[in-house]
Amino acid sequence: MTDSTYTPDEIAKMFKISKHTVYELIKRGELQAFKIGNKMRINPEEVERFKSSSQAHQNHTSNAVIAQPSLSTTIRLTGSHDFLVEQLTKYVSKKTNLQLQPTYIGSLEGLMMLYRGAADVAAVHLLDPNSKQYNIPFIKQLFVHEKISVIGLASREQGFIVAKGNPKVITSFGDLTRRDVSFVNRQKGSGTRFLLDAFLAQHEISPKEVKGYDNEEWNHLSTASHISRGSADVGFGIKSAADQLGLDFIPVTEEQFDLVFRWTDDNEKDLTSLYELICTEEFKTQITKIPGYKLKGLGEIKYTTIN
């Protein structure tokens, strides 16, 4: 399976512009991009939107695309990759002049970016092994003086992603230690990796016993694609990724996926607008049909330091 997103180099060739111009368009918010690790990517839908916008509002030359000034406001979103976050990004762009600029680097790194003030929102699903509670224990440790709100997005199923028919009959964590089973992992700092390691410790399984433990991917779909093309037998990930590629899924647990807002004087108005959009019935209707999620508690403020 090939990556369906585009790199800045590919966009530059497509529109016959320099790569520098592509980065300028992204910087100004006129071309929406996201990061997977340290790599910039652009969705096909965004390419079509930009192409249509260019045809309607811009004068073309054979060598350049002349961009119009953007009136949009950018909200920096970082943390875990999730299909609901992708849908939220599109929905916000469609309904308002706000733009969510996602950087998918994992839950833990996302929280650290938020802590450093390099982001406005973090998407997280981190399990505290001691309390068995998601996200809030980490928030309380990191953010003491900052204005923070933890917003419920959804609960989602995590489990084993395997080939159709489960030919290796993988049903438990013990099966990951079999020599005929190859595993594909998520990157360090991701909530899924954090969860996997907690389960391995619970079952007294050393990472060295898992063939492919060091084989890392940066999002759920890339992980599932390894199983789809046969370069791995099993991965640990979300049901939605398995369904998108026609793979089988063995559920293991249900986890909580939240958004963490860090409020400042500069972003308060924009974050308020974002929160109101998340709570609309229209947005809930758009994401209800995505498999593997439960939307009970969508928009619930689970924790806040704002009085």
Which tokens hold the place of 42? 């652009």
Rounded Cα distance between 235 and 252, Å, is: 12
Same domain, 144 and 162: no
Which tokens hold the place of 96? 């308002």
Give domain status of residue 1, yes or no.
no
Instruction: Give tens-digit pLDDT for 230-265.
Output: 999 999 999 999 999 999 999 999 999 999 999 999
CATH number at 63 reads 3.40.190.10
In angstroms and rounded to an integer, the radius of gyration of the C-alpha atoms of the chain is 20
What b/e sequence results for 127-153 when a residue is b if at least 16 CB atoms lie within 10 Å of its CB, and e otherwise?
A: bbeeeeebbbbbbeeebeeebbbbbbb
Burial class (CB in 10 A: 0-12, 13-18, 19+), 235: buried
Give domain status of residue 205, yes or no.
yes
**pTM for this model (two decimals):** 0.80
SS3 of 76, please? strand
Last residue of a domain, one of 222, 237, 254: 254
Instruction: Give tens-digit pLDDT for 189-231.
Output: 999 999 999 999 999 999 999 999 999 998 898 999 999 999 9
Same domain, 246 and 280: no
Same domain, 116 and 130: yes
Question: Can you count the helices (H) and strands (E) in the chain?
Answer: 11, 12
Residues 289, 219, 111, 138: is their CA dihedral positive or negative? positive
Query: What's the mean per-residue pLDDT of the chain?
Result: 89
Query: What is the pLDDT, as a whole number, of residue 290?
Result: 92
Give domain status of residue 210, yes or no.
yes
Instruction: Give tens-digit pLDDT for 120-159.
Output: 999 999 999 899 999 999 999 999 999 999 999 999 999 9
Query: What is the pLDDT, as a whole number, of residue 2?
Result: 44
Which tokens hold the place of 300? 């619930």
- Domain tally, the chain: 2
User: Domain limits at 242?
Assistant: 158-254
Give the phi and the psi of residue 272 in degrees, each rounded to 5.
-60, -45
Within 8 A by CB and 6+ apart from 254, the residues are: 155, 156, 157, 158, 294
